[in-house]
Chain A
Amino acid sequence: MKAVPSLQEYSLLGPDILISHANSTSSSDADLLRSHGGHISSTPSTELQMPPMGFPICFKPSFAPMASLGVDCNSLISASLATEARLVLQSARAAHNQPLIDAGKPPKELNVKAADVFNLATIKGARAVGLGDSIGSVAEGKLADLVLWDKLSPGMCAAAEQDPVAAIIAHSSPRDVVGVIVDGVVRKESGALVSVEVEGGKRLEWRDVAKELLASREKIQGFVEKMDYPRIMRDMGMA
């Protein structure tokens, strides 16, 4: 049962609706969602890899006005939005270019630009979650959710002078993110995460969290290794 037709049938469409992926959504369903103020989130890494999804739709005309960019699972890929941005930008260019190259009519212009995907990851993300007035851009009166990049790092140097947006999209890595502020509180500074407070007032550095994560992983891996996955797939009717 598809989300948008069901929502339409039950008269539940509204501006608080956020659809993940939306690949293969018809134009008419897209128009329906858009007319009710809903949004979609494209997550290139999982979509490009896992059927039945496929190429992200965030640049298509019916979807672009309500699209945003997201990270689906940091278990699959880096949590960096810059990575997703680069992936969706280049894959959208290739999807557009390839048929034209094959037809002997290679395009002379790029169909999508770095600024388009930068907006998907920032202001359009904010609008997709109903916070377009309070986050997603640097403006007086907005909440202090800010990211700082080092414009002199090996990755960003010179590129940041030429075109800061393109530098972030095409050249940056998490190493270049030297500061992050959320809700006016510094959460990363001088290139390192600040400590977090957990139960009992204890403060943990990232390495402390990493240790707990590794212990958790080892425990879960212990279960996974005992599973008979071919038999489970058969039980599920998938093999």
Chain B
Amino acid sequence: MACAHYDPSDVFWGTLAGALESIDAGTTFIVAHEHMVYSSEHMRQGLEAFRRSGIRAAFCPAITQRVKQWNPKLEMESDDVPAWWEETYWALAEEHPWEAGRVRLGLAYDSYPLGREKTVEMFERARKQKVQLITSHSGGGTSQLTYHCPLLSWSKETD
């Protein structure tokens, strides 16, 4: 939820700085599980930073649960995969790869609670667009979403 405080330029500078820190330390490839996807422009600025950085990357936007309001009580947005997310992501899928192949599109997917139909639809379409990889978290014995998106653990069915 920290990403609620970031505007697209914060995503750009933070991502660029992180990529440069990585190069400086001797890293040549990053799988970017992109949580900071709060809007179409957030997604695009994350990608732009990787393109500019010079590092090799699989840029993998995630479907992030967003804050609707902080006060007087915390409320999260209820939509599952926002229309703007799909519009932007599938447009990027048509464009990729970038920088002569140095930056490729992937998919970060932790939204298994959305169920079979939506999950299969996302995976099949991503694979048809030849995304480099599909990455998911898997933490401990309980839902892997519990520590990343605690809201999801009580708003949706989990095991």
Check if B134 sits within 8 Å of A209, measured CB to CB. Answer: no
The answer, yes or no, to whether A183 is at the interface (CB within 8 Å) is yes
Q: Which residue of B lies closest to A145 (CB)?
A: B28
A22-53 vs B, CB cutoff 8 Å, 1 = contact: the mask equals 11110000000000000001000000001111
Q: How large is the interface on A (under 10, 10 to 19, 20 to 34, 35 or more residues)?
A: 35 or more
Check if A79 sits within 8 Å of B119, measured CB to CB. Answer: no
B117-153 vs A, CB cutoff 8 Å, 1 = contact: the mask equals 0011001000100011111111111111111001100
A227 partner residues in chain B, CB cutoff 8 A: 70
Q: Which residue of B lies closest to A176 (CB)?
A: B26
Q: Which residue of A lies closest to B76 (CB)?
A: A236
Q: How far is the CB of A168 from chain B (nearest CB, A)?
A: 8
Check if B136 sits within 8 Å of A3, measured CB to CB. Answer: yes
Check if A52 sits within 8 Å of B136, measured CB to CB. Answer: no
Given the known interface contacts A16-B133, A183-B56, the answer about A6 and B119 at a Cβ–Cβ threshold of 8 Å is yes
B145 partner residues in chain A, CB cutoff 8 A: 1
The answer, yes or no, to whether B43 is at the interface (CB within 8 Å) is no
Check if A196 sits within 8 Å of B143, measured CB to CB. Answer: no
The B interface is mostly helix, strand or loop, or mixed, namely: mixed
Check if A17 sits within 8 Å of B132, measured CB to CB. Answer: no
A92-100, A106-114, A123-131, A153-161 - the one binding chain B: A123-131
The answer, yes or no, to whether A220 is at the interface (CB within 8 Å) is yes
For A81, give its contact among B25, B55, B73 (CB under 8 Å): B25
Check if B13 sits within 8 Å of A180, measured CB to CB. Answer: no
For A196, give its contact among B5, B14, B52, B159 (CB under 8 Å): B52
A135 partner residues in chain B, CB cutoff 8 A: 28-29, 56
Chain A, range 67-87, C-beta contacts under 8 Å to B: 70-71, 74, 78-82
A188 to B89, CA, bound (A): 32
Given the known interface contacts A177-B26, A216-B13, A220-B6, the answer about A52 and B133 at a Cβ–Cβ threshold of 8 Å is no
The answer, yes or no, to whether A238 is at the interface (CB within 8 Å) is yes
B143 partner residues in chain A, CB cutoff 8 A: 1-2
Q: How far is the CB of A207 from chain B (nearest CB, A)?
A: 11
A196 partner residues in chain B, CB cutoff 8 A: 16, 20, 52-54
Given the known interface contacts A135-B29, A182-B23, the answer about A21 and B139 at a Cβ–Cβ threshold of 8 Å is yes
For A187, give its contact among B23, B33, B73, B151 (CB under 8 Å): B23
B18 partner residues in chain A, CB cutoff 8 A: 74, 79
Check if B147 sits within 8 Å of A50, measured CB to CB. Answer: yes
A134 to B52, CA, bound (A): 22
For A213, give its contact among B13, B28, B110, B136 (CB under 8 Å): B13
Check if B113 sits within 8 Å of A71, measured CB to CB. Answer: no
Check if B52 sits within 8 Å of A232, measured CB to CB. Answer: no
B70 partner residues in chain A, CB cutoff 8 A: 227, 232
Check if A130 sits within 8 Å of B138, measured CB to CB. Answer: no
The answer, yes or no, to whether A219 is at the interface (CB within 8 Å) is yes
For B28, give its contact among A1, A52, A180, A210 (CB under 8 Å): A180
Known A1-B158, A70-B31; 13 more pairs at CB < 8 Å: A10-B119, A12-B120, A18-B31, A20-B137, A52-B142, A71-B22, A80-B27, A81-B27, A129-B29, A135-B29, A145-B56, A185-B54, A220-B5
Which residues of A line the B interface, CB within 8 A? 1-4, 6-7, 9-10, 12, 14, 16-25, 41, 50-54, 70-71, 74, 78-82, 125-126, 129-131, 135, 145-147, 149, 172, 174, 177, 180-183, 185, 187-188, 193-194, 196-198, 206, 209-210, 212-213, 216, 219-220, 223-224, 227, 232, 235-238
